[in-house]
Amino acid sequence: MEAKELLAAYKRLWNNRTVSNGSNEEEILLELVKQELKDEMTHPRLRKNHYEKFHQSIKRIIISPLHEKEKLMLINVYSQCLEQLVENDKEK
């Protein structure tokens, strides 16, 4: 599945999110997922940790009307981003 299709699936799932226009859909998708996992759209005092946001996001993906292949690919993207965020936190 192409990044363009995955980004479209993400937009259907989180339809109120602002998506910057760019030429590289994969980078846009990864940035949106990282923002979601960092809970950057929430007030700093109310933010949840990466694991809580991951859990909530995965639950939302699973119960969504997306096709199974789209769900699996989005879950994979979320998993990769979570691993990267955890690794970055360890380096700090």
Q: What pLDDT shows up at residue 90?
A: 87
pTM of the model: 0.90
Shortest CA distance to 12 belongs to which of 73, 66, 67? 66
Amino acid letter, 5: E
Q: How many domains does the chain have?
A: 1
What is the domain extent for residue 67? Answer: 3-15+24-91
pLDDT tens, 29-61?
Answer: 999 999 999 999 899 999 999 999 999 999 999
Contact 57, 36 (CB under 8 A): yes
